Chains A and B, each alone.
Chain A
């Protein structure tokens, strides 16, 4: 069972799954043997709004670290999502075709986006933020935004 870090600010409560790593942009990465499952954080999905469409690079596509692996169109914005690792897309969540709202409903579970086989088999995610560091980053960001309003 996944544990979460959590904070509430204004009327919003944000959860950070504690069993994975995060990029600055809010993409999570969870190692699964030699593969990495990726998706977006609860913070990013709540800030971005309801997802209308999610287009993930097709299976077999090589993605570079920081290269676009998916584009999400929400009721507010279009977001280009950078890959947190370099590798090959080996699985795409089929729900993204028919029910992309899974991203909003369950960003750490059913709303996953893709599975990437890391180039060279190196699955270290040391370059990413651990849950505590990501928690601190987004909490500060959210608090600053609330103060601005």
Chain B
């Protein structure tokens, strides 16, 4: 994916927190971007692969701009991308995103409520815009 004939992809790394509402929101947003909104321009990398030191995951992250989505203040996604030698184009914290969309109160764990789904969608839309900026060479911003 990084050879000269192919357009570089934006790497999306969500929180891996299982059993946590905000972690689920982060993953739903990531799936939405990578599968529906911008499948051609993005690639999902599982945080667990970076934690385990998976060589392919680390090299992909090191070679492409990354957008991280953290579910809590531990910011594992952001930290692991940094530790893997990646360049973070933008980092999102679900709590911060929720403060911007107070009307979408997320609840649920395995399955999000409507508010959680709407919040994930709103976050995905924001990420898609950043992806567009990155792929058009405008670059992203930090701390979303």
**B-binding residues in A (CB < 8 A):** 50, 52-53, 73, 75
* Closest partner residue, chain B, to A51 (CB atom): B95
Cβ of A75 and Cβ of B95 under 8 Å apart? yes
A28 to B73, CA, bound (A): 25
User: What 6 new A-B contacts, CB under 8 Å, besides A53-B99, A75-B22?
Assistant: A50-B72, A52-B95, A52-B98, A52-B99, A53-B102, A75-B72
Residue B78 at the chain A interface, CB threshold 8 Å = no
Within the complex, what minimum Cβ distance (angstroms) separates B18 from chain A? 15
Q: Which residues of A contact B102 (CB under 8 A)?
A: 53
* Closest partner residue, chain B, to A99 (CB atom): B99
Q: Which residues of A contact B105 (CB under 8 A)?
A: 73
Within the complex, what minimum Cβ distance (angstroms) separates B46 from chain A? 22
Q: Which residues of B contact A75 (CB under 8 A)?
A: 21-22, 72, 95
Q: Which residues of A contact B98 (CB under 8 A)?
A: 52
A73 to B105, CA, bound (A): 10
Q: Which residues of B contact A53 (CB under 8 A)?
A: 99, 102
Within the complex, what minimum Cβ distance (angstroms) separates A31 from chain B? 33
Within the complex, what minimum Cβ distance (angstroms) separates B100 from chain A? 11
Cβ of B95 and Cβ of A50 under 8 Å apart? yes
Q: Which residues of A contact B95 (CB under 8 A)?
A: 50, 52, 75
